[in-house]
Structure 1
């Protein structure tokens, strides 16, 4: 019989909702200015996740901090060894958080997300549901006159257990780090490292490396900060894999 943990799902949803209400209320209490809100939309493609749009926004609550939100539409195209995005129950992710500046050009943004679909809750064997999993995550961003970079770490944990008797839930650890040099206000280049681990879910004995990418990237950016395009490519350090590519382009408002 499938397990449906209503209390856990409700508690998690209520906690995220309360955090959202608190953050928005705090933001609304600040004086209105035209530059408090920022929004970025990117589209991405790589050989594991396929095609997936991403959006992120923030609303400043002080000169050094902001309420943040984001979403990932993972189901946009064919994925890697788990099948198509549609096969993941139209997998999506939405989250909220709070960003603050640790130093000039250095931001820290803890967030928590919730997924819809069936990848985590049943290993793609069950129905697509809201509350498929929780995603506590942390992003550290670097943006200075001559350098740029980002560190991301996220835990994809099943919130519900809808796996069949002979199946399993799934869990993942996903992190990356990149660092680059701005050769001009138009062009930058650097190195990208990214690692995805299937940590096993309800069967921790099956923890495996899904991919481990390492290679250079090049980026072309609008000097006014409105748009950019990046290509990352290189080798996959996991035995049996060959190489990787990731293409991202985005607009900021």
Structure 2
């Protein structure tokens, strides 16, 4: 029988739970009004992760801060080498955090997530489990009258070790940045850069680039902010890779 590293799992889950309790407690301490809550659902597709729905919500706790939560259903992938969310033990991510408006049109959103599946805990070789990994992450958003942009940085680290003898856990660094100009209240265009790094695991000594995408994007959006569609495409800077594409569409409520 495989030995579960309970102390490591408990430390991660306790940290996640405490963050969640503090954030929710802050949110519920405020008066409840319907305009405090925002919710967005997007569906995404690219050639590495495949098809993956994403949701994000927020509840305002003051004029400049909000409790946030999000989820990524990575499981929509094909199960092959590329787009393999389904082959990673129905890989799923859920997290909570706080968003802060630090300047006009500029926000900072630190969050912490936890994954279920088997990608991080065993390199897909072990059972699908809750507590597969922990994901501290940070998003910086820009949304002004004529410009838009986003910076994301996330660390995907194994929370449990379920790798069979001779196997390995995995860890990743995932970040992207994009910046665009709003040509009108309906159309914007800009540049997208995204990098995924296999930063090592229990038996991996050197990090490797999985992909490194660079290319333009175009976006069409409802002027009222309720819906959008974006296409990003271009080259992959990793030797041996060719190009990338990413299609995203979303609705806000």
Does TM-score exceed 0.5, indicating one fold? yes
Deviation at 1:14, TM superposition (A): 2.2
Change (3 A) 1:80 1:198: farther
Q: Give the match for residue 173 of structure 1.
A: 173
**Structure 2 residue aligned with 1:159:** 159
C-alpha displacement at 1:157, in angstroms? 0.2
Q: Describe the SS at the equivalent of 1:205.
A: coil
For 2:188 and 2:142, the matched residues in 1 are separated by 14
SS in 1 for 2:84: coil
Aligned to 1:244, what secondary structure does the other structure show?
A: strand
Tell me the C-alpha RMSD between the 2 structures: 1.3
Equivalent residue for 1:19? 19
Report the alpha carbon displacement of residue 79 of structure 1 after superposing the two structures with TM: 6.0
Shift of 1:84: 2.8
CA distance in 2, matches of 1:80, 1:246: 18
Structure 2 contact 49–82 (Cα < 8 Å) conserved: no
TM-score, length basis structure 1: 0.97
**Segments ≥4 residues shifted beyond 6 Å:** none
Residue of structure 1 in register with 2:64 after alignment: 64
Name structure 1 gaps, 5 residues minimum. none
> In the alignment, which residue of structure 2 is the partner of 1:250?
250
The Cα of 1:206 is off from its aligned counterpart by 4.0
CA distance, structure 1, for counterparts of residue 46 and residue 25 of structure 2: 38
Instruction: Tell me whether 110-119 or 6-15 shows the greater mean CA deviation.
Output: 6-15
Deviations 1:103-142 (A, max 9, x none): 1100000000000000000000000000000000000000
Contact 1:48–1:79 under 8 Å retained in 2: no
- For each residue in 1:131-190, what CA deviation from the matched residue of structure 2 results, as whole angstroms up to 9, or x when unmatched? 000000000000000000000000000011111111110000000000000000000000
Listed one character per residue, the Cα deviations across residues 77-108 of structure 1 (whole Å, up to 9, x for unaligned) are 22663663222000000000011011110000
Q: How many residues align?
A: 253
Alpha-carbon distance in 2 for matches of 1:173, 1:81: 19
CA distance 1:83–1:250, shift in 2 (3 Å) = closer
CA contact (8 A) 1:2 1:161 kept: no
Unaligned runs of 5+ in 2: none
For 1:166-217, what per-residue CA distance to the aligned partner results, in whole angstroms no more than 9, with x for missing partners? 1110000000000000000000000000000001111332421000000000
Q: 2:30 is matched with which residue?
A: 30
Structure 2 contact 50–83 (Cα < 8 Å) conserved: no
**Cα distance in 2, alignment partners of residues 167 and 242 from structure 1:** 30
Question: What is residue 94 of structure 2 aligned with on the other side?
Answer: 94
